[in-house]
Chain A
Amino acid sequence: MGTSFGRGGATTFQQDLANSDAILIMGSNMAENHPVGFQWVMEARLKGATVMHVDPRFTRTSAMANLHVPIRAGSDIAFLGGIVNYILENERWLDEYVKHFTNAPVIIDERFQDTEDLDGFFSGFDPDKRIYDTSTWHYAGMPVQETAGERAKGGTKGEQSGHGAQAGHLAHGEPPEEDETLQHPRCVFQLLKKHYRRYTPEMVSQICGCTKEQFLEVAETLCENSGRERTSAIVYSVGWTQHTVGVQYIRTAAIIQLLLGNIGRPGGGIMALRGHASIQGSTDLATLYNVLPGYLPMPHAEKDTDLASYLDNHAGTTGWWGHFEAYFISQLKSFWGANSTEDNDFCFDYLPKIDGDHSTYQTAMDMIDRKVRGFFLFGENPAVGSANSRLQRFGLASLDWLVVRDFVEIESASFWKDAPELETGELKTEEIGTEVFFVPAASHVEKDGSFTNTQRLVQWHFQALEPEGDCRSDLWFVYHLGRKIREKLAGSNDPRDRPILDLTWQYATSGPLEEPSADQVLREINGIGPDGKALGTYADLKPDGSTACGCWIYCGIYGDEENKAARKKPGGEQTWVASNWAWAWPLNRRILYNRASADSKGRPWSERKKYVWWDGRKKKWVGEDVPDFQEDKPPTFVPTDDAKAEDAIAGDHPFILQADGRGWLFAAAGLMDGPLPTHYEPHESPFDNPLYSQRANPTRQLSPRAENPYNPAPSDAYPYVFSTYRLTEHHTAGGMSRTVPYLAELQPEFFCEVSPGLAKERGLEHGGWATIITSRTAIEARVLVTERMKPIVVDGRPVHQVGVPYHWGTRGLTKGDSGNDLFPGALDPIVHTQEVRAASCDIQPGRRPRGKALRELVESYPSTVEASA
C-alpha cells in the first residue's frame, strides 16, 4: 500500500464499507475472523450492494456473499491481473481519475523491459545474487539517483519496508515526460496494457481453476459498481500477505482501485484487515528491524555512514516526504533529548546500523548458529506461530538465555520440557543450555495504553484494576529493565555505552508497582515544540533540533495537551464518520487521499458520493472528514519549478506522500521484485506457470539448510495443496485462546478439512485421524470431510486442497499438533513475510508415528536443500 499510495495503512475505515456498492473480499474470511467488522459488509448488502468472496474455501463469508468463486490458493494475482486486463480491454477505467490522479501518463525509462519481453523477468535481473537492479524502472528523464527503494544494489535484499517511505527524487513534482493522451508506447498506461494482455478470462480460468463465467461476473460487477455514481471496496487480510509474492497481491488490488477511481472515496478503498489488536501500531512504532517509528528507514552501515549521507539517501524532495529531515531529527531529539545537538549530528551515530536481513527467520537460524544468544519474547509464540516452527524450537534450544513475557506458560517458554523434538530424540532436556525467565504479563484491563486498529484508529483502553502477583505491563518491564541497565552502566567510559546512558529515560511512575505513565509516553510520541507544549501537527516539526517527536505520523494525537486516543464521544451522538471517537493517523483523517473524492476541479464526483470537496467561496476543502490535503490549496494550483515538499504537489494530485502526488499504477521505486505485479507460482506449487517459463518469484527469499528443507516442486510425492487459516474461536498461536476455558470448549480439537473426493482417494474417514506430511515434518489431525472443500480443476486436472487451522500446540486446555510446523521458511522478498497459505503436501489415513519413527517417515519423502530457480 505504501508503494502505491504513499502510506502503509488501510485507505478507509470499516464503517465506510456500508457505503460500498460492491465489495470484493479476497484472501480473507472476514465473517469468521473479523465478525464484528463484518456487520458493515452486511449493512452494505442490506442497502443493495453486491458482496463477492473469492477464496479457496467456502466459509461463512462465502455463505453471506452474493457470489463465491473458489480459486486455487496462490493464484490471486492471475485473477486480479485478469480484472486489470478486463478493465483495460473494455475501456472501463474512470478516465479523469486515471489521467489526473495516477501515474498512467508518465513515460518510463527506455531501457525498461517487461516480463512479456523477458519471459517472466523484468529488466535488471542479476541471476547470481537473485536481485534486481531497479534503475531501468524509473521515470524517463529522471536523474539517476539513489532512492530508498534501490538499496538492493548493495547486495542485500528486502530492507525497504514495503510499508511506507520511498521518497524518490524528482527535481520538481511533475515527472519529466508525460503523455496526457495515454498513447505513448512507454507510458505507464500502455505498459500496463501490455503486461496484462495475456491475463485473459481463459487464462484466469486455466490458472485459478474457476470458470470463465465466474471470473467475468466478478470483473463486470466491480466495473458496473465503480465510476462517478458508484464505488467498490476491496477487502483482504493475511490470506494475501502470507505468500512469497504477498506485497504484489496488494499492489494488484491497488491498480484495480486506481483504474476504477475507487481510492479516497466513500465506499471505495482497500481495507486491510489485520489480525492483532495493535499490529498496525506495532508496525507504525516500529518493532521491526528495518524501520524506525513512522516508517523512517533504519540506517544502513554501508550507505548511511553519517547524517548527511542518510538524509541524502532517504529524504524526498517533493511531497510530504520532503520534510523527512524534520521528522528524523525530531525523532533523534525524542530519543536523546538535550544530548542530541547539531554539533554531534543529533546523535545519528548512536543509532545501530543494519546491513542485511535481520528479520525473525534469519534470527532463528542465527540462534542455531550461536550468533544470537539472548532473546526476548513479548506476547509472541514462535514455537507454534512461525513457519517451520521446528526450526524456531531448535533456535530457542540453542540460546544462552530467553525472557518470555506472556499471560500463560506458552510453548515457547516450555519447549525445554515438552517440544515434539524431545519425543523424537532430537533434543534432550538436560542438554538444552537455555536459561529461561518467564515473567508474567499484565492484561489489557490491568494497564492504560492504546491499540491502533486495522483502520489506523488509535484507541485508548483505561486501566480497570492493578495486576496481581508478579504480573506487570510491558511498559513497566521495559522501563525498569532500561533503568536497571542504565544504573549498572552508570560511570562507564566506554563509547558504546553512550547511547544507552544518554537516552531520555525519565518517566514518571506511580502507584505501589511504580508503573510508568503510558500517557506521558504517548505525549512523547506526539512530540513537543520549542515551548515544551504538545504539537498539533507534523507540519510544525523542524529540522533544526527545536522540536522533538517520537513518531511523526502520530503527531497531533496529543494536540492541545489532550489525549485524543482517549476520546469516547458515543458514535450515536455524532456523524457516521465519528471523528470524535479516538484519533486516526495521520491528523485524524478517516479516509486517506480523500481529496480524490472530488474530481480534478474539486467538485464531488456525484451527489451520491460526496465526501470532501473544494468550497470556492470559503477557499478551502470542506466535507465529512479532515481533508487529506493542504486545506487552502485550490484544485487549480500549479507548483512552480523550484517548489519543494508539499508545495511541489499540484492541486489535482491527491497522493501527497508520493514524490509526484499520484497513485502509482507502476511502482517506479520501492519494490525489489518488479514494478508491476506478475503471476508466479508459490514456491512449492505442484504446477508450472502457464504464463512464463519462470515458474516462481525469482527474487523470493529461500534459506535452505538441514533444518529448513523444501519439498521438490513439482513432485508426485506431494500431490496436494496445503493451506492454513484461523477459526473464530481461536487466536493466532493459541496463547490467548487455547488457555481460555470457554474458547477451548467451543473449538476443542485440532482438525483438517478435506473434500469427499480426497477422502475417498486416500481412504480418510470423517472423525478419524489423518497424517499430513511435508519435508519438514508430519502432523496428525482429526478429519473433517466436507463439501466446502472443493477440488479445483487447474490446467485440466483436479487438485485437492487440505486446510488446517494453525492455532494448536503442545500445551493449553486443548492440545494438538501445529499446522505451521509443515511450512518451509520461504519468504516474500520485500517484507520477509512467510508463505503459509500455500504449499504442497501428502496426506495419509491414521495417526502419525511416534518417536524416531516420525523422522523416519518424513525422511522417506523427498526433500531438497537447494534453492531451485
Chain B
Amino acid sequence: MEHTSTLEKVLRASALTAVVIFFMFPIFWIILMSFQTNETILRVPPSMIFEPTLSNYRGIITGQLETNAATLEINFMRNLWNSVFLSVSSVAVALALGVPAAYAFARHKFRGSEDIAFTLLSFRFAPPLLVLLPLTLYFQQIGLADTYFGLVWVYQLICLPLILWIVRGYFEDISPDIEYAYRIAGHSWFATFRKIALPLAGPGIAAAGLLAFIFAWNNFIFALVLASADKQPVTVGALAFITASGIQYGQIAAGIVLSVAPTLALALYAQRYLVEGLSLGAVKG
C-alpha cells in the first residue's frame, strides 16, 4: 500500500491541481476584477497584468458610483448593514430561544418531546416558499410587512432548527451526574444550568451560532419575498445591482467581494467547527 508509483503520484497531483483550480478560480478572478476599471476588464485577450485601482471600492463605500454617463447613487452599504443586522439579531434571538429548548429536549424526556423536536427539524427541509407566500399576505394585514422584526422572526426558520439540533446533541453528551452533584450541593436549577451545563456545551453553542450566522447571511429567498429595498441584505441587493444599467463591472465585482468576505473569513477562522455543524452532528469532525 505504501509503495506508490511515480505515475500515480503525478496523476494524483494533477487531479488535485485541477480540483483546486476549479474551486478557487472563480473567487480569485472576482477579486482581480474588483480592482480593475472597465477598460482593463474589457480587454481582449484578458490579462492578469493591470494597474490595480481602488475606485470600485471607493464608489461602493461612498455610494457614489461613477458610470460612463453619470454618477449613480446606490446605497450598497445599506445592504451590507442590513445583512449584518439581520444575521446578528436572528442568531441572538435563535440562541436565546433555542438553547433552553435544546436543554429541555436533552435532559427531560417529556411527553411529545421527540415529536416536537422532529417537527422543528422538518422545518429545515420544507420548501421555504410554502411558508413565505402566505406570510407576505399576512404581514401586509398585520403590519409586519417590511419590518426588521418580521424578517428576524422568519429567519428563525433557518436558525432555530439548526441551533436546537446541534446544541441538543452537545447537551446529551454531557453526563447529567455532574449537574446532579451540583444540585445536591444546594444550588438552584438555574445556577446549575448557567454554571455547569452552559459552559460545558459552549463549543457546541459557538459552532451552532456560527453556522446559523452563515446560513442567515447567505439566505436569499426570505428577503427577496419579504423585504423592500431599504431592508434588503446583500444577497438580494447584489442582484438588483447587477441588473441596474450602466454599472461598471468592476463595481459589481467589488460589491460581490464585500458581500462574501464576511462568511469566507468566518469559515476560515472557525473551520474546525463547521464540519460537525454542517452534518448536524452526524459526523465527528
Q: Do A and B interact with each other, yes or no?
A: no
